[in-house]
């Protein structure tokens, strides 16, 4: 089936990786190095969870202020818009930081995305809930959507929802772990996804 919509992760995918220093954030929040931040917050008492979430939101907003569009992101989004591809964002971040970071993009605004799904609208990746919600808001079936992200949670969520998945390598070694689902495609920069809907998948 022809791809009619593309769902992007945000931080490290549409923006240059590194604005969020996850090891430092975990240390500040008291999160164990081997545990994901949002999942760690869920284990805290309501009061502590609320205070830690405020700290996390402040860190995300500060990172958004210094973030920049990733290589090829603006051109990629512009070409896709011109082709009539429906665009969406699925992120574990809060909405405030996404809005701030998007202001750094030339020719792209939040209104260009039919769906912007943050941790406030769905269960966070790797749960597929956000993919299903995005598909609903984009008016597409999961078979018509491609999910693009730079982390294993993106591939896991997309695979669980039945969408084609693209791992953006960003010039680093694979972030996938043994037992993870294989991405359908691996690309080194965003402009490579422009022709992927016509290419055979890597996975047999």
Structure confidence at residue 203 as a pLDDT band (50, 70, 90)? very low
pLDDT digits (tens, 9 = 90+) for 34-55: 999 999 999 999 999 999 999 9
Task: State residue 53's pLDDT score.
Answer: 93
Percentage of residues in the chain having pLDDT higher than 90: 87
The Cα 28–Cα 57 span in angstroms is 13
The Cα 133–Cα 125 span in angstroms is 12
The Cα 172–Cα 168 span in angstroms is 9
pLDDT digits (tens, 9 = 90+) for 151-184: 999 999 999 999 999 999 988 888 899 999 999 9
pLDDT score of 204 more than 80: no
Domains of the chain by range and CATH?
5-17+69-198 (3.40.50.1000), 22-66 (no CATH)
pLDDT score of 1 more than 80: no
Percentage of residues in the chain having pLDDT higher than 70: 96
């Amino acid at each position: 089936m022809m791809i009619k919509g593309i769902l992007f992760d945000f931080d490290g995918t549409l923006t240059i990786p590194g604005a969020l220093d996850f090891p430092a954030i975990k240390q500040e929040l008291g999160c164990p190095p081997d545990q994901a931040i949002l999942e760690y917050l869920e284990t805290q008492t309501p009061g502590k969870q609320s205070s830690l979430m405020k700290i996390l939101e402040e860190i995300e907003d500060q990172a958004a202020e210094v973030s920049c569009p990733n290589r090829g992101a603006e051109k990629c989004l512009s070409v896709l818009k011109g082709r009539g591809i429906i665009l969406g964002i699925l992120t574990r971040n809060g909405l405030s930081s996404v809005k701030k970071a998007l202001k750094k993009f030339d020719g792209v605004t939040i209104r260009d995305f039919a769906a912007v799904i943050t941790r406030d609208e769905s269960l966070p990746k790797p749960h597929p809930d956000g993919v299903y919600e995005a598909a609903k808001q984009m008016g597409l079936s999961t078979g018509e959507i491609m999910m693009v992200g730079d982390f294993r949670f993106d591939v896991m969520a997309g695979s669980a929802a039945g969408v084609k998945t693209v791992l953006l390598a960003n010039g680093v070694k694979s972030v996938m772990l043994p037992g993870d689902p294989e991405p359908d495609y691996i690309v080194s920069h965003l402009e490579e996804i422009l022709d992927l809907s016509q290419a055979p998948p890597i996975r047999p």
